[in-house]
Structure 1
Amino acid sequence: MAGGTARRVLVIRLGALGDLIQCFDAFHAVRARHPGAEIALLTKPAFAGFGRTMPWFDRVWEDGRSRSPAHYWHIRSLLRGARLDVVYDLQAKPRTRLYRRLLWPGPAPRWPVADPAALAGRHNRDRYLAVLAAGGVPDAGAADLSWLAAPVDGVAPAGPFVLLVPGCSPHLPHKRWPPASYAALGRALLEAGTVPVLVGTAADRDAADRILADCPGALDLVGRTSLAQLGSLARRARATVGNDTGPVFLTAAAGCPTLMLMSHHTDPVRSAPWGPRTAWLKRDDLSALPVAEVVAALAGLARV
């Protein structure tokens, strides 16, 4: 079946929040290629709710990524029962390649696979688009993110503010710039008349509390905003400074001038924040990144 006439389409992306956000333009391209199709997203349970707010999908399926035979049988039954015409595997890892093999024997959907040479040395966003190109899906340009918004009246400061994102995955502490450094940055912002606003999830509570102890003038919104509200805050903020973590990718995508702080864990070629005004600083050990260097980079990126 020709790509544009497919009626039942599946997009697979099982990664973290930042991975999903870097897929926005790819998701948009799939919908532009298949405007009348029923398109499903297969993703992790933690992000299924977020997926259901996206305008590109008609349904969202959850994959807890269990290794049990029962789970693989469930995935096989799900994929076969959906009678899919085409699958765009943006995960492209051994697990999802196994899902493809689980469909044998019997009818199978088209499952485009990109040439590895087309992916080498490219940003994640472009890698996802290369996978789609292998299936005949052209780049449709930047996705409209107007849906990523919610009221923040009574939450956002009245004056100028900068978002600080001091957290990241709890099992990757080396990706965090130290709380003491964020506190020093917050104090510098306050001296310049700009409010530092801490955002993140409940998992970032400890880092936020340590920052607030040294910078009590910061506004604490950690665990108090939805992703849609974060999108609205990003559009009002002067800038964002944060670690390699999902909310930083979100603010960059929403158009906020965004500065990402990277450790040895992050390859900027693949994982720098994608957006109209972004920058990054990297140290193998983030504790060696001076506050003064961050302040200077922020001043070069945005009016703060």
Structure 2
Amino acid sequence: MPHSRILVIKLGALGDFLMALGPMQAIRRHHPDAELVLLTRAAYRALGEATGLFAEIWVDPAPRWSPVAWWRWRSRLRSAGFTRVYDLQTSDRSAGYFRLFPGDRRPEWSGKVAGASHRHDYPEDHRLHSIDRQRAQLAIAGIADVPLPDLSFLDGDLSRFGLPERFALLIPGSSPERPVKRWPIERYAELAARLAAQGAVPVVVGGEAEAAAGRAIRDRVPAARDLTGRTGLGQLAALARRAVVAVGNDTGPTHLVALAGCPTVALFSAASDPAKTAPRGAEVCELYAPALADLPVDRVAAAVDDLIRFEGDAPC
């Protein structure tokens, strides 16, 4: 489709956005001469720009209940000249955007919404992983080759941190609204002590919201390094490429380090389904307990040892 103008919709959250980078990269390869526009949330504008895939980044206006906002948004979509839309969000919101186009002048549409020219219809109770689901969606639109996301565009300077040669990443955070997805911080501290005793310096990463967790681990394990609130996504990817292993909850940074190539142990509770949302990468082990408070340190430490010893080939 040469000289076409194509809209890609992916709003988030972070882990979902990272998983969609492989499909975005595949779309770019399939349409080498097209002008790609990304519609996303403001939080992911910089990440979208860093990919180098898009001519423009649009921030989703989320018009909600304002008729004037909806009219303005409809006018912008209709006048943009899109020849095809790849809806990687496949939500009620993006389905509503499909309906803003007149039926006789809609662009080709890849997504779940009824009436789409390249519809991927799947049941609401599916257990498809998001990557597998999007691969099936793009296959319907003629894109057969969708590898895992390539995060080589993400990098950062680590020199100011003075890190040792051998270190392990700990990711104790998750969405503040979902505390049930967090392994207890005292378990992370116990795991940090074991890692330090084995010669792998624990490095705690996360946002400002994880500062208390970082302090708690360092108070328990003085050898640990607390980098909470001090790393951007590029630096986190750089850390992942150097770390011997990472352990994290079901949260965006855990997805990032796994995709960047770090051997990763991901911890899941009944709040999320690893069949649909587990991190993907070269070496990923998922551990599940209905309540993460019941997941013992011994089980996590054994998974860490297996990844380090067998480079991901041992059963998890």
TM-score class, shorter-chain normalisation, is: over 0.9
Of 121, 142, 146, which residue of structure 1 is paired with 2:152?
146
> CA–CA distance in 2 between the matches of 1:281 and 1:214?
24
State the TM-score, normalized to the length of structure 1.
Answer: 0.94
Aligned in 2, Cα 1:93/1:140: closer, same or farther, shift over 3 Å?
Answer: closer
Unpaired runs of 5+ residues, structure 1, are: none
Match runs of 1:165-184 below 5 Å: 165-184=171-190
Distance of 2:277 and 2:288 partners within structure 1: 12
Give the drift of 1:159: 2.1
Q: Which residue pairs with 2:108 in the alignment?
A: 110
Distance in 1 (alpha carbons) for counterparts of 2:54 and 2:29: 12
The 3-state SS of whatever aligns with 2:105 is: coil
Find the aligned partners of 1:90 and 1:83 in 2 and give their Cα distance. Answer: 19
**CA shift at 1:287, angstroms?**
0.8
Match of 1:71 in 2: 69
1:57 alignment counterpart: 54
State TM-score, norm by structure 2.
0.90
* CA deviation vs aligned residue, 1:219-268 (integer Å, no higher than 9, x gap): 01111011011111100000110000001000110111011011111111
Tell me which residue corresponds to 2:22.
25
CA deviation string 1:58-91 (max 9, x = no partner): 2111115341324333331221121100000011
RCO greater where, 1 or 2, for CA within 8 Å and sep 6 or more? 1
Alpha carbons of 1:285 and 1:142: their partners in 2 closer, same or farther (altered >3 Å)? closer
Alignment partner, residue 15 of structure 1: 12
Identity %: 42
Alpha carbon RMSD of aligned pairs, Å? 1.9
Cα deviations across residues 29-65 of structure 1 (Å, max 9, x unaligned)? 1001101111011111111111111122221111153
By how many angstroms is 1:6 displaced?
Answer: 5.9
Give me the whole-angstrom Cα distance separating, in 2, the residues matched to 1:62 and 1:243: 28
Partner of 1:82: 80
Q: 290-299 or 54-63: which moved more?
A: 54-63
Tell me how many residue pairs correspond in the alignment.
301
Counterparts of 2:44 and 2:149, CA distance in 1: 19
State the 1:118 CA deviation: 11
**Whole-Å separation in 2 of the counterparts to 1:293 and 1:84:** 51
SS at match of 1:260: strand
**Contact 2:172–2:249 at 8 Å: present in 1 too?**
yes
- The residue type paired with residue 256 of structure 2 is L
What is residue 43 of structure 2 aligned with on the other side? 46
Between the aligned partners of 1:77 and 1:293, the Cα distance in structure 2 is 55
Which of 192, 196, 199 is the equivalent residue of 2:205?
199
Conserved? CA contact 1:32–1:140, under 8 Å: no
